[in-house]
Amino acid sequence: MKIFMDTANVAEIAEMAALGVVYGVTTNPSLIAKTGRTQAEVIPEICALVEGPVSAEVISTDCEGMVAEARKLVKISDKVVVKIPCIAEGLKAVKILAAEGIKTNVTLVFSLGQALLAARAGATYVSPFIGRLDDIGENGVALVENMVKVFRQYNLSTQIIAASIRNMEHVDKVMLAGADIATIPTKVLKEMLLHPLTDKGLAQFLEDYKNSLK
Ligand code: G3P
């Protein structure tokens, strides 16, 4: 499973990319708004920090507008993947963009049916929002598990990005389910590195080393 960061915060991406673990980044209008900057400012900076895909979302809700935005966004960098909402106009846009070789990430996916439609329209990636399903009492991880099963069963090449991840348990479970990618908020990514036994063990090693010099 590849690791993407789910943030538009350039400083956070730079900090974690230095660890060599971050392959790509996903953003959305809410994440961009949190930075107080514009999409046009942050996307080129993010593209300079990671090796892999960087999702930038359209804000049009009609096919024509989405396609026009997408064509503009991909001019920023060949790493840009256009994030398109899972609505009828969005799928029409995905079909047109796929024919032009423009990569898309169909977002706001909450059901197996939506996932199949996105894949059949030609999406490069599809993003099930697991935390938001949990929020309404459904099982977000189960959706990812079912998507992995169905995509394998029908040999669909669309990659699954587990999104709306809220905690380490989500990461562990989508990894076990076989998600291609997890897009992870900075806080959760930092937590993944930590274990009290690592700190305890390291302190003991250093103390034993010091004692061995006496
Ligand atoms: O990748 C999707 C993500 O940004 C949404 O996360 O926590 O707002 O549901 P959340």
The string of pLDDT tens digits covering residues 171-186 is 999 999 999 999 999 9
**pLDDT-derived band of residue 21, with 50, 70 and 90 as boundaries?**
very high
Ligand 1 atom closest to the Cα of residue 127 is 1
Ligand 1 centre to CA of 99 (Å) is 28
Name the pTM for this structure.
0.96
The string of pLDDT tens digits covering residues 60-72 is 999 999 999 999 9
Q: What is the largest CA-CA distance in the chain?
A: 75
Query: Which of 20, 24, 4, 18 minimizes the C-alpha distance to 77?
Result: 24
**pLDDT-derived band of residue 37, with 50, 70 and 90 as boundaries?**
very high
Query: Does the beta carbon of 131 lie inside 6 Å of ligand 1?
Result: yes
Query: Does the beta carbon of 183 lie inside 6 Å of ligand 1?
Result: yes
Token pair belonging to 97:
């963009």
Element (DSSP H or E) covering residue 51 = none
The per-residue pLDDT of the chain, averaged, comes to 98
Euclidean distance between CA atoms 81 and 98, whole angstroms: 11
The closest residue, in CA terms, to atom 4 on ligand 1 is 164
Query: Does the beta carbon of 164 lie inside 6 Å of ligand 1?
Result: yes
Token pair 């949190």 is at which residue? 34
Token pair 């990636």 is at which residue? 125
Euclidean distance between CA atoms 60 and 69, whole angstroms: 8
Ligand 1 centre to CA of 100 (Å) is 28
Q: Which residues are catalytic?
A: 83
Mean pLDDT throughout 11-15?
98
Please tell me the predicted confidence (pLDDT) of residue 105: 99
**pLDDT-derived band of residue 99, with 50, 70 and 90 as boundaries?**
very high
- Gap between the terminal Cα atoms of the chain: 46
Query: Does the beta carbon of 29 lie inside 6 Å of ligand 1?
Result: no
Query: Does the beta carbon of 27 lie inside 6 Å of ligand 1?
Result: no
Residue 170's contacts (CB-CB under 8 Å, 6 or more residues apart) are 130, 131, 140, 141, 162, 182, 188
Ligand 1 centre to CA of 207 (Å) is 43
